[in-house]
Each structure stands twice: as structure tokens, then as C-alpha cells.
Amino acid sequence: MENKKNNIRNVLEKRNKKYRRKIKLRMILILLIGISIIFLVLILSKKEEKEQNIETSSNVEEENQVLEAVISKKKERKIDDWRLVLVNSKNPLPENFNPELVYIDKTRQVDKRIANELSKMIQAMRNSGINNIWVQSAYRSIEYQKDLYNNKINEYLQYGISIEEAERLTSEYINKPGESEHNLGLAVDFNNVNDDFKNSKAFKWLGENAKDYGFIMRYPEEKKEITGVEYETWHWRYVGKEHAYKMEELEMCLEEYIEYLKKN
């Protein structure tokens, strides 16, 4: 009886041992699988992070490109203000340019948008005792500018100089057709179109007051290199009061001022 009991105990103990070993093995297996899963998750998340980094850097590049495009567009930005239209040897008017004109006396015309300010300015000069003032030249059609330019060249050619020299001398004071502000209708020449004008009361008055009527001396002596035109005391261009004031404050000619506006 005792023997039988012992036998049963032995068998049970053996079974227990086997069972515990099985459990141990299972736990080790589960532990290993768990560690593997954690590793796998870590590796995958690292990979995703890397991919995301690549994506962000390409996004930044794209954004930079967009930004650059905006900046360059801003640089090329057109100044839409009609008062600031730039006409010079680098910016000629199209052949078919046709401003809306109005007569300021029997023969002379200007762009109708400046006629009022021009006549107010001349009246103010007269009111302050300057009677010796008149508009010698205002709007010129491109056709008329052609005649003026060619006549001047022919005049020079009579002195027996070369055509190149005649053209050079002519272009110092007469712009090529389409390259003159007179073709625009926004500029006038006063009195005899002569250097003596700088010694006149009228010139002094204009220097102090023309900006109040929106006019500027378009070709100052110290800006010859930029405007490409000799010092012209008699040539006054309308740009509007606020631009005239700003240009004086910045000491800029129209070419410089337009560049300044494009950048700011």
C-alpha cells in the first residue's frame, strides 16, 4: 500500500517537473518574441523618421524655389502708375503709342491728365511776379520727333562731319523718335530751351515749387550718367506730387526711383 502511494507521488512529481520545464520554455519563448517585436518596432520607426526627414528637406527646397520665384517676380514687378512711365533710349515707346491729349494753347498739347496741374503751376509763377515764362515744347508725335531728329542730323552734316558724329551730337539733346518724354505728353520744355534758363527767376522758382504741382527736373547735371541725357534745366516732367517729393527726399532721378520702387 505504502509502495503504491510512493509510486503515485513519484509519477506526479515527474509530471510536475515536466510541466514546469514546459512553462519555463514557453516563457523564454514569449520573452524572445517580445524582445524581437520591440526591436522590429524600433527599426521601423527609425526608418520612417529618416523618410520623413528626406521629405521635409525636399519640402524646404520646394518652398525656397517658390520664395525665389516670388522675389524675382517682385524684382520684375511693373510699376503700373501712369505718372511713372519711363521713356528713354532703353525704354522706347511703341510706334502706335497714342496719348489722350488736350491743347494748352493754340498749338501745343499735353496728356490731358496733367494739363490742370501745369496751368496751375504757370499761373502760380505769374502770380509771384514771373511773367517771362512760356511752354516752348510739349507733346510731340513720334512722326514729328522723327523730323526733328533727322533735321538736326542734316544740320550737323552740313559742317562736313561724319554721320556717326552727327548722330552722337544730335542725341545729346534730341532723343530718337519714341525715346523722348515729349512723345509721352507728360513733359514740357520752358522758354528758349537754352542753358541760360538756369540763371532765370523761373528756374529758381521751379526748383523750389514745381514739386507741389507734381513736376520734376528730369535731367539733373549730376545724373547724366544714369539718364543718358545732358543737363536740361528747361525740361520738366510730371510724376505727381507724392512721387516728386519722395524723389527729392531720396535725391533720385526717375530711373533710380523706379528701381527703388521695384525693390521696396
Q: Where along the sequence are the contacts to Zn ion (CB under 5 A)? A: 189, 235
Q: Is the Cβ of residue 182 or residue 243 nearer to Zn ion in the bound state?
A: 182
CB of 225 to Zn ion, least distance (A): 19
Q: Is the Cβ of residue 211 or residue 235 nearer to Zn ion in the bound state?
A: 235
Q: Which three cell numbers stand for residue 86?
A: 519711363
Half-sphere CA count of 127, side-chain side, radius 13 A: 7
Give the DSSP H or E segment for 225: helix 224-227
CB of 255 to Zn ion, least distance (A): 16
Q: At what angle do helices 254-263 and 2-75 cross, to 10 degrees?
A: 170
DSSP letter at 91?
B
Q: Is the Cβ of residue 152 or residue 235 nearer to Zn ion in the bound state?
A: 235
CB of 235 to Zn ion, least distance (A): 4
Closest CA to 178 of 68, 72, 99: 99
Q: How far apart are CA 81 and CA 241, in angstroms?
A: 13
CB of 213 to Zn ion, least distance (A): 17
Whether 186 contacts 218, CB under 8 Å: no
DSSP letter at 220?
-
Q: Is the Cβ of residue 157 or residue 193 nearer to Zn ion in the bound state?
A: 193
**Is 167 part of the annotated catalytic residue set?**
no
Catalytic residue among 232, 248, 251, 259: 232
CB of 135 to Zn ion, least distance (A): 11
103-124 burial by CB neighbour count: b if 16+ within 10 A, else e? ebeeebbbbebbbebbeebbee
User: What are the residues whose beta carbons fall under 8 Å from the beta carbon of 153, sequence distance 6 or more?
Assistant: 163, 166, 167, 170
Whether 241 contacts 214, CB under 8 Å: yes
Q: Is the Cβ of residue 117 or residue 189 nearer to Zn ion in the bound state?
A: 189
Q: Which residue is nearest to Zn ion (CB)?
A: 235
Please list the active-site residues. Answer: 232
